[in-house]
Chains A and B, each alone.
Chain A
């Protein structure tokens, strides 16, 4: 397994090996699925759309409906306007969406197609039916990563729909509404965030919200547009919120800023609430904005702390490597720190200097002895682990090859998870998510301890 990865690390400046990120459009497609009755639309070659649909499907095990402009060589030379116009016509007549969310690809970006101009032309030609919407986000595949694409589509939702509110009219704020941008997380997580916020007394506008869409039940009927997703009305009324909570600097921040710009709703930029500290901060902001922390919520938290007390002996001093999307990795780093573990390798594929400084802040004095890397790849991570072995690996499914090669206990977390199920239905975020993560990590570590134990140390009770 991965026999050609040398221990010795040589500098590479041109060759990316085993990437820890993918391109923007897939993030935009996922975000768009979180709008009610929305059809994501990929403006470029049809291969992009097929790859993105396939990969999202592998993670969610759910239908992922999306259309493409199906560029051919002609469109690549003369521009994709005819393709987008024809595509919109076919989409509205055949699939009847309320919203079409267009994202670009490296092809249409390199050509320089101007989406608003083309959509304007489509409107003039009555291709877009009355009461239907076409929104867009520019998602050049050669900038950032899938997380940036997700963020760009979230921002587009605010740009296109959030009704402008002048500061003087802010009195129309609905004191019970809070906006949440959940980040590039699973439908289970979005459900959990809503539950927590609602439990403090808020009415929640979450955008995007893929719960109900990407975790639809088996009923014997395929519903093209399932019940879930943020409605256009909700998006229009973002300005009524007391605040917009952006969970994750990479995936959610820009959308919250956009709501603030358009409607003067103050933004609260937070970490993804993975683990106890980040969830506490999430709850504190809810409280600060007028929510009530109920005894039930305190009990949930207390149960998590109780579990952390019960299991600290298993985690203390254990070395861990974490990779994945930056918002996930930073929150996980903080959580495993709080569990007493030592995050010795912390890596994301997404570019951004902030990742390093944030990881250093979280790790404090331990940062000096940790490898913290943004814009890295899994080849590098494997080499780092070969140089300094770890007791546990946390990351998406691609980590299984490193785990296999180095024989390391491995817990799948983040996106994508292609070879296990449950993530769509059971949250990783919030106190409940922290409990789940903790139990998975305990299982991984103790299964390994059992596997490796000589007979006289093979214990009944642990």
Chain B
């Protein structure tokens, strides 16, 4: 367990010098406008038409709805979270990847058994770089992969018996606190009831055992898996344990939702929160232990980092326990400062507000010299981001720090509200693929529901510019004329790169070497190219340094042999 930190000492003089009124007047609400498009950028409307012109007619019409020229004020409607067209070469993965790979996988002391043929377990084994710093003596199964390794026999005769036996064998070997079971494609088809097996084994073994029906074909992307993971975690884990009284002393208690500790991001966020004196009850689910999640209902605020993968949890916890949530972004130095100020304003304690300001000032004093030195070499150089369900938005803050305009961006598996903001939630049509994913109806818990803020208090915070339970979305923070593409195809990506010739593209492993073969550096924002952390203040310094290396690397000058180089005119 993460021990409650002693409130770290901060300089008294600095604390006293904070002008609380000035801090209270800071505008924490408005979207930050993106940097303007560079001079000479291609005309976007024509570019968008060109992107789809080679598709068959039906596909052309479909893809056109996913590709928009941005306007941050009159945000255009973009189609998202709908089926990927077969054959188009998508970045997307499956429901299982979202459930096991993203949300549940990082939890260190659960034995995650993948029920299916061997591959699904194998590919999700240590490939996402969720780091964890587990206290000596505590269980940590992150380096292990567990699967029922289904063979033809189970496909024909059913795999429930093998699953039950696998759970028993896992229990006998490791005696974990909990076991989670994940269904893969064939499991749904042959009709294995993983939930029944989980219930039976839970009764027999006396530890928490629960299943996820996250077959790869469900939904249209990883996103369905996030939702299924949220539902399962919420139903089976959240609120099943209580925070001990000695951990309930500090009122500034938060959960960090949607932070998976890729490359150590969560470590940096933990460090900043601890410096300010904020107690982190749990993180969903980077560097997380089972009991922390079980006790998460005792926090007083939920911070949502990756909105796409965890918003369900935030909303369900608010409905059941009365814990409000707010969207934060810890990617980017200025963004981190803003996130910390939002937290302080929510709690409203002058001591916390002053502490946060002092920490921000101290941290920025280290960040700014690095940023200024590097910005001279990066300023004005265009960037494209095609990644994930939040990062394509979050990382724009870091590029803004460096003066690099984002000319095109898009998500792999986000929904319309991640693009256009929560305001469009009510107008999103639910198609058959989304309807198949269970939506839990959650009411207040008869015993544990305790609104942390009254409606009047929330209204007052909102009037002061602190937006609760809402996400602004990516497009309001992108510049006019930039191009937004949802679920980008390989063909579209190549054309966009040809058109913009960006200094850098952010994407994932499947695109990385395509982009670099084109002579353009690619920063992987799923696995960080095995670097990081990039969150928070120290992460920002890492990122600035990394981007400087990438866009100014000597090696790109070696691509053309000297004998083939064009003579200067």
A positions within 8 Å CB-CB of B = 1-4, 6, 10, 12-19, 21-23, 25-26, 41, 44-48, 50-55, 57-58, 61-76, 83-84, 86-91, 93-95, 105-107, 110-111, 140-143, 145, 216, 218-223, 379, 401
Q: Is B54 part of the contact surface with A, judged by Cβ < 8 Å?
A: yes
Complex CA gap A18/B147 in Å reads 8
Residues of B133-166 at the interface with A, using a CB-CB cut-off of 8 Å, are 139-141, 143-152, 154-155, 162-163, 165-166
A67 to B169, CA, bound (A): 38
User: Which residues on the A side are within 8 Å of B436 (C-beta)?
Assistant: 73
Q: Are A15 and B122 in contact (CB under 8 A)?
A: no
Ordered by A's residue number, 12 sampled pairs between the chains whose C-beta atoms are within 8 Å are A15-B173, A18-B144, A22-B122, A47-B216, A58-B127, A65-B490, A68-B90, A72-B219, A110-B185, A142-B155, A218-B559, A379-B144
Q: Please name the residue on chain A nearest to B169 by beta carbon.
A: A15
B94 within 8 A of A: yes
**Residues B155 and A14 in contact, CB atoms below 8 Å apart:** no
Question: Shortest distance in angstroms between A161's beta carbon and chain B's nearest beta carbon?
Answer: 22
Q: Are the C-beta atoms of B512 and A57 separated by less than 8 Å? A: yes
User: Would you call B89 an interface residue if the criterion is a C-beta within 8 Å of the partner chain's C-beta atoms?
Assistant: yes
- With A16-B149, A106-B186 already in contact, the answer to whether A141 and B118 are too (CB < 8 A) is yes
Q: How far is the CA of A68 from the CA of B165 in the complex (A)?
A: 34
Set of chain A residues within 8 Å of B489, measured between Cβ atoms: 94
Cβ-defined partner of A72 (8 Å) among B91, B174, B433? B433
In the complex, the answer to whether A89 meets B123 with C-beta atoms within 8 Å is no
> Are B145 and A47 interface neighbours, CB within 8 A?
no
From known contacts A50-B93, A222-B517, infer whether A141 and B119 are also in contact, taking CB-CB under 8 Å: yes
**Is the Cβ of A106 less than 8 Å from the Cβ of B117?**
yes
* In the complex, residue of chain A having the shortest beta-carbon distance to the beta carbon of B89: A67
* Additional 11 contacts, C-beta under 8 A, given A13-B169, A22-B119, A222-B518: A4-B139, A17-B145, A23-B119, A70-B88, A89-B56, A90-B86, A91-B87, A94-B55, A141-B117, A221-B517, A401-B143
Residues of A within 8 A of B372 (CB): none
B429 within 8 Å of A (CB atoms): no
**Cβ contact within 8 Å between A142 and B152:** yes
B114-137 vs A: 1/0 string, CB under 8 Å? 001111111111010000000000
Complex Cα distance A269/B428, Å? 60
Known: A48-B94, A142-B155, A221-B518. Is A75-B121 also a contact (CB below 8 A)? no
> In the complex the two chains form, is A19's CB within 8 Å of B149's CB?
yes
Q: Closest approach, in angstroms, between the C-beta of A383 and any C-beta of chain B?
A: 11
Task: Check if B189 sits within 8 Å of A107, measured CB to CB.
Answer: yes
* Interface status of B550 (Cβ within 8 A of chain A): no
Contact in complex: B217, A16 (CB < 8 Å): no
Q: Tell whether, in the assembled complex, residue B513 and residue A90 are in contact, meaning their CB atoms are under 8 Å apart.
A: no
Contact B509 A3 (CB under 8 A): no
From known contacts A4-B144, A16-B148, infer whether A70 and B491 are also in contact, taking CB-CB under 8 Å.
no
Q: Is B514 an interface residue (CB 8 A)?
A: yes
Nearest CB in chain A to that of B134: its residue = A3
Given A93-B56, A106-B186; A48-B216 close (CB under 8 Å): yes
Q: Is B85 an interface residue when CB atoms closer than 8 A count as contact?
A: yes
Which of A47, A51, A110 has a CB less than 8 Å from the CB of B186?
Answer: A110
Q: Are A26 and B119 in contact (CB under 8 A)?
A: yes
Question: Are A14 and B163 closer than 8 Å at their CB atoms?
Answer: yes
Complex Cα gap A63–B88 (Å): 16
Is B172 part of the binding interface, using a Cβ–Cβ cutoff of 8 Å? yes
Residues of B in contact with A (beta carbons under 8 Å apart) = 54-56, 59, 83-97, 113, 116-125, 127, 139-141, 143-152, 154-155, 162-163, 165-166, 168-170, 172-174, 184-186, 188-190, 215-222, 432-433, 436, 489-491, 494, 508-510, 512-519, 559-560
Q: Which of A19, A61, A90, A216 is B88 in contact with, Cβ under 8 Å?
A: A90
CB pair B59 A90 closer than 8 Å: yes
| Residues from chain B with Cβ under 8 Å of A74 in the complex | 432
Q: Is the CB of A44 within 8 A of B166?
A: no
- B118 contact from A21, A45, A63, Cβ within 8 A: A21
Cβ contacts under 8 Å, A14 to chain B: 148, 162-163, 165-166, 168-169
Measured between beta carbons, the chain A residues less than 8 angstroms from B150 are 106, 142
Chain B residues contacting A67 (CB-CB under 8 Å) are 86-89
B224 CB to closest chain A CB, in angstroms?
9
Distance of A375 from chain B, by nearest CB (Å): 9
Query: Given A71-B217, A86-B86, is A106 in contact with B122 using a C-beta cutoff of 8 Å?
Result: no
Residues of A within 8 A of B560 (CB): 220
Q: How far is the CA of A95 from the CA of B234 in the complex (A)?
A: 44
Say yes or no: B517 contacts A90, CB within 8 Å.
no
A273 to B186, CA, bound (A): 38
Bound together, the chains give a CA A223 to CA B330 distance in angstroms of: 38
CA distance A18 to B145 in the complex (A): 5
* B166 & A51 in contact (Cβ 8 Å cutoff): no
Chain A, Cβ-Cβ closest to B189: A110
* CA gap between A47 and B114 in the complex, in Å: 15
On whether the beta carbons of B217 and A23 are closer than 8 Å, the reply is no
Residues of A within 8 A of B85 (CB): 70, 86, 90
Contact B433 A73 (CB under 8 A): yes
Measured CA separation A69–B83 after assembly (Å) = 11
Interface pair B491/A73, CB less than 8 Å apart:
no
Q: Which has the most chain A C-beta neighbours within 10 Å: B89, B141, B219? A: B89
Q: Which one of A44, A50, A62 lies within 8 Å of B185 (CB-CB)? A: A44
Q: Are A57 and B509 in contact (CB under 8 A)?
A: yes
Tell me whether A106 and B152 are in contact in the complex, defined as CB-CB below 8 angstroms, given that A23-B118, A26-B119, A94-B88 are known contacts: no
Residues of B within 8 Å of A62, CB to CB, are 513
**Contact yes or no, A64 B510, CB < 8 A:** yes
Are A19 and B121 interface neighbours, CB within 8 A? yes
Would you call A48 and B119 a contact (CB within 8 A)?
A: yes
